[in-house]
Structure 1
Amino acid sequence: MAAEKIAAETRTEFGKGAARRIRRDDKVPAVIYGHGNEPTHIILPGHEIMLALKNGGANALLDIDVDGSSHLALTKQVQVDPIKRFIEHVDFVAVRRGEKVTVDIPVHVVGEAAAETLVVLENSVVSVEAEATHIPEFVEVDVEGAEVGTQVHASDLKLPKGSELLTDGDILVVNVTQQQSQESLDAELVEAEAEAGIEHEESGDEAAEGGAEAGAAEAGDSQE
């Protein structure tokens, strides 16, 4: 993964008001941590950082120029507005070329399994250790022609050279099971509806019994 270059400004104003002003200018506040140094607070151009993170994926590696000083940084956390979907803030961790880092990478399933099977992705990410400048974007699992009962564990994954698996090798990643027929699904639905109906009737009976007991108790009280 090559580091994408991006220019940044030093951030000098802080607080919610300052952050809102930065975002109104289509810019994004961010911070770079790591290597025992003081955090470096920066401002990134909104459109450029959006594209860089989109192209780089979850572990985007950026070469950030801050006032002429280069910072190699790995994306660690991206805060996104839940409604408007714009980037609110980005946390980076400083890295060095050749340095090993621990990251989670997504698992991509490719290929078509055998007929009447269901491919279940049991774990969508795995943890690996890799060089900061050679982080794999994803690991691929090919299920072409896979039969029912096929299982792919973490230890079966083919990682790029230089990457080491940290996830427990016994963890199930992909499981190929028997696909349920429509008739079977319909039967389960009917059974579930029937059970729900019985529970509803039982609840009604209990309510009726409770009402009768309450009525009897009230009648007894009135006679007293």
Structure 2
Amino acid sequence: MQVIAFARSEQGTGASRRLRRAGRTPGIIYGSGEPELIELDHNALYHALKKEAFHASILDLEIADAKQQVLLRDVQYHPFKQLILHVDFQRVDQNRALTTKVPLHFMNQESNPAVKLGGAIISHVATELEISCLPSALPEFIEVDLSKIESGHSVHAKDVTLPAGVTLVPHVEAENPVLASAAIPAAVASEENAADSDEGAAS
């Protein structure tokens, strides 16, 4: 994805306020080399931020016909207005592994037997996963297969098949957090128990 930005010479609260009144959003690019102050068109940025890929893809950021590859690292929003206050990007080195969070896409939930036949409800506990990889291997999202999760069980981070060249960051590897879980609703469970009791009484 391509991002158009402009060099910014002024900084400080007053300068940022003037930029926002003019429909611009202040930002910064950091990483290898010197930090670079930038400004972006607010409306274009606002719509780009609605796209999932903008948050988890290598972006081609262009300033005065010069391009550099960056990752979105932080966005500051106004507490109640639809206003972006500031945005941070990090330069990407193609030869160095990066650490970032990637969205999770949950697959095959509808075909799961525990859902179709057992009345289970699958809860998505996490929406993203922190991974490490070279920029060339960065996936836009990671699929989590829910076709075989059983009632009362969970899918953990280490259960997911990661794309080639992608690994969990050490603390996620150690914690192995739950990504999704399947449970029988209390109403369904009580009905099943009542049915079992009726069968036992009849026998």
What is the TM-score of this pair, normalised by structure 1? 0.71
How large is the Cα RMSD of the aligned pairs?
2.3
The answer (yes or no) to whether the contact 1:52–1:60 under 8 Å persists in 2 is no
- Runs of at least 4 residues off by over 4 Å: none
Q: Are the structure 2 counterparts of residues 60 and 53 from structure 1 closer, same or farther at C-alpha, using a change threshold of 3 Å?
A: farther
Instruction: Check conservation: 1:79, 1:88, Cα contact below 8 A.
Output: yes
Could you tell me the TM-score, scaled by structure 2's length?
A: 0.77
Aligned to 2:128: 125
Q: Which has the larger radius of gyration?
A: 1
Within 2, Cα distance between the matches of 1:79 and 1:16?
14
Comparing 159-168 with 140-149, greater Cα deviation is found at: 140-149
Instruction: Kindly state the Cα deviation for residue 133 of structure 1 after the two structures are TM-superposed.
Output: 4.2
Q: What does residue range 19-34 of structure 1 map to in structure 2 within 5 Å?
A: 19-34=16-31
In the TM superposition, residue 25 of structure 1 has moved relative to its aligned partner by 1.7
Residue 135 of structure 1: aligned partner: 138
Per mean C-alpha deviation after superposition, the further-off stretch among 121-130 and 40-49 is 121-130
* 1:182 Cα deviation after fit: 7.2
Q: Is the 8 A contact 2:137 2:164 kept in 1?
A: no
Equivalent residue runs for 1:65-80 within 5 Å = 65-80=62-77
Deviation string 1:3-52 (CA, Å, 9 cap, x unpaired) is: x22222111111222111111221111100111x2210011122222333
Unmatched tracts of structure 1, length 5 or more: 185-224
**Contact 1:107 1:124 (C-alpha < 8 Å) held by counterparts:** yes
C-alpha distance after superposition, 1:172-218 (max 9, x if no partner): 3222122210796xxxxxxxxxxxxxxxxxxxxxxxxxxxxxxxxxx
Sort the Cα spacing of 1:133 and 1:81 in 2 relative to 1 into closer, same or farther, 3 A.
farther
Q: 2:161 is matched by which residue type in structure 1?
A: K
The letter of the residue matching 2:164 is K
What secondary structure, in the 3-state scheme, does the structure 2 residue paired with 1:155 have? helix
Please list, as runs of the form range in 1=range in 2, the aligned pairs for 1:73-92 lying within 5 A after superposition: 73-92=70-89
| Runs of 5+ unmatched residues, structure 2 | 191-203
2:40 to 41, 44, 49: 44
| 2:179 corresponds to | 173
Aligned residues: 180
**Cα deviations across residues 118-168 of structure 1 (Å, max 9, x unaligned)?**
213333332111222442222222323643133212111022222112222
